[in-house]
Structure 1
């Protein structure tokens, strides 16, 4: 019983300290030194990938903004659900932040029957970055732009030899967008799932898969510059460019064949939905300060991201709800099913 009371007292002290931080007040040094647990930043992927790179950019500036230690924890597997389930199983005291994207939070629970959570089990605290998507094609594909790709896909489907599109797994955002593209143009295409971005890009470069709808950064553009694959178009809204390195490429929405097909991917930070409001407010304030750090912005841009304007907590809730509704509607229309 005494141990339980001590644990309750530590959590109460933590909530008070984070509440003070939310109000712009510094937590007493004794409280910070003796009672506050480190904030664990859950990156639902192995070390070395894009998600991990984002977490490493955020780690130190967030620790500075919070005034306490932040530790990146990598836990990949099962479409990011292992990390998500660990966060949901931890106390709702702000000691765990989940770094999530549409893949882990919205789509994984729709395709993996072992996943017991849903998007609404998390509360969106702040978006940290958006990342552009593009239509990539193997170098030998006889299509130089989106209109030619659409015409080719329709001819191949009519001949019973549909084009292939690769993704990083069934139910991933890239799978959903590829299937949605095929549905929009009215041409059957064959999905080829991979276990990661690296083997997919290798097969694109080796003419083993026809196209893919992927997040792109400097390294992907370098492959295009080397002639190993083609960038046919970005998925930016008509007339908009999300990153400087993509300015030379048109948008898919500038084509004659496709309209209203704008997508990007994003990364944000989440807590359990039942996390107390003072804790959420403190974390929101710290993440907003992190986004304003020039070094954070520069490092995220270096890996292909863009730091958007900070969202209020109300705006974050609205954005998350809208993104969830949109992707669920698309998943339903393409008949995405649990595997």
Structure 2
């Protein structure tokens, strides 16, 4: 078939457009949910609850990748090193997204390097003590800590500068207690040492599995940082509001999925719609709500951006209050 030069150029342009559209189609391969903590953690549970329903919404396999270390910064850097095409999503919280850049001089990324696609859930925080610690309330813990200046109580966190670390520092500041911080690479190894009595207490996201551990006498849930009551069997655990020494200590931790800035708008829109649809499904809502997580209502991207901006300011203020110096 013979084509005039003009027809040939038009056909070539059409072919190139078709090729470009095929190359930019999303998703073109499996989508990865990057979890910045080891398997078995509370964060890992959330991702594994999502991956199958999300995969059905996107019509592509969704896999979970666990990469702990540096309070989540290692996983964040890996995601930011990947192409901004939406095939890598970061499951983030204030710890990795906001605090890491404020408290760690070695972290070169900033909160603004990410774009929030879908806030998912808020988790209650609780104060959990090892079985050997002779206290039953938050005030008793503070009193014991002040009395143990020669051998300070130890508390664990998922890394220096994380919210759980800063809460311990805030406790020390507010109560005048000496405390020794013990960092871990994630919640799972921290819990193992708490169960084994290697550390004395920790601020942790609430999990329903704590009920069996309490019943077995392996840990104590001695306080809640939530405004609302915890679910049974912890509905009688006192909140920070009932404490003399933990005033203004209301904190929770949210989880969201984010992509690199620069990800195409159409891809971000598609991902946001897929998460909103997955969040309405019983196989997602049921397991997350059973963990006492409060699920976000569907949030437009503009509202998600405003929420993220406000949270950045909030945690900047916490770091300032504690007086934490970047290390």
TM-score, normalised with respect to structure 2: 0.84
Is 1:288 aligned to residue 276 of structure 2?
yes
CA offset at residue 269 of structure 1? 0.4
* Offset from partner CA, 1:161-197 (integer Å, 9 cap, x none): 4433222321222111111122122333222223443
Q: Paired residue for 2:288, among 279, 292, 300?
A: 300
Q: Relative to structure 2, which stretch is displaced further, 186-195 or 97-106?
A: 186-195
The corresponding residue for 1:204 is 194
Whole-angstrom CA distance in 1 between matches of 2:64 and 2:196? 35
Q: Paired residue for 2:67, among 75, 79, 86?
A: 75
The corresponding residue for 2:224 is 234
User: Do the aligned partners of residues 82 and 138 (structure 1) sit closer, same or farther apart at CA in structure 2, a change above 3 Å counting?
Assistant: closer
CA offset at residue 114 of structure 1? 3.1
Q: Relative to structure 2, which stretch is displaced further, 139-148 or 98-107?
A: 139-148
Structure 2 alignment gaps of length 5 or more: 1-14
Whole-angstrom CA distance in 2 between matches of 1:221 and 1:115? 37
The corresponding residue for 2:99 is 107
Are the counterparts in 1 of residues 68 and 186 from structure 2 also a CA contact under 8 Å? no
How does 1:11-22 map onto structure 2 within 5 Å? 12-13=21-22
SS at match of 1:333: helix
Are the counterparts in 1 of residues 129 and 221 from structure 2 also a CA contact under 8 Å? yes
User: Do the aligned partners of residues 116 and 306 (structure 1) sit closer, same or farther apart at CA in structure 2, a change above 3 Å counting?
Assistant: same
The corresponding residue for 2:246 is 258
Whole-angstrom CA distance in 2 between matches of 1:135 and 1:162? 17
The corresponding residue for 2:5 is none
Is 1:247 aligned to residue 235 of structure 2?
yes
The corresponding residue for 1:154 is 146
User: Do the aligned partners of residues 206 and 73 (structure 1) sit closer, same or farther apart at CA in structure 2, a change above 3 Å counting?
Assistant: closer
Are the counterparts in 2 of residues 44 and 83 from structure 1 also a CA contact under 8 Å? yes
Is 1:55 aligned to residue 43 of structure 2?
no
Whole-angstrom CA distance in 1 between matches of 2:230 and 2:57? 28
Are the counterparts in 2 of residues 11 and 93 from structure 1 also a CA contact under 8 Å? no
Whole-angstrom CA distance in 2 between matches of 1:105 and 1:244? 32
Q: Relative to structure 2, which stretch is displaced further, 293-302 or 70-79?
A: 70-79
Alignment root-mean-square deviation, CA: 2.7
Structure 1 alignment gaps of length 5 or more: 1-5, 19-31
Whole-angstrom CA distance in 1 between matches of 2:198 and 2:63? 40
CA offset at residue 303 of structure 1? 4.5
The higher radius of gyration belongs to 2
User: Do the aligned partners of residues 9 and 204 (structure 1) sit closer, same or farther apart at CA in structure 2, a change above 3 Å counting?
Assistant: same
* Offset from partner CA, 1:247-289 (integer Å, 9 cap, x none): 2312112223322211122221001122222222221111111
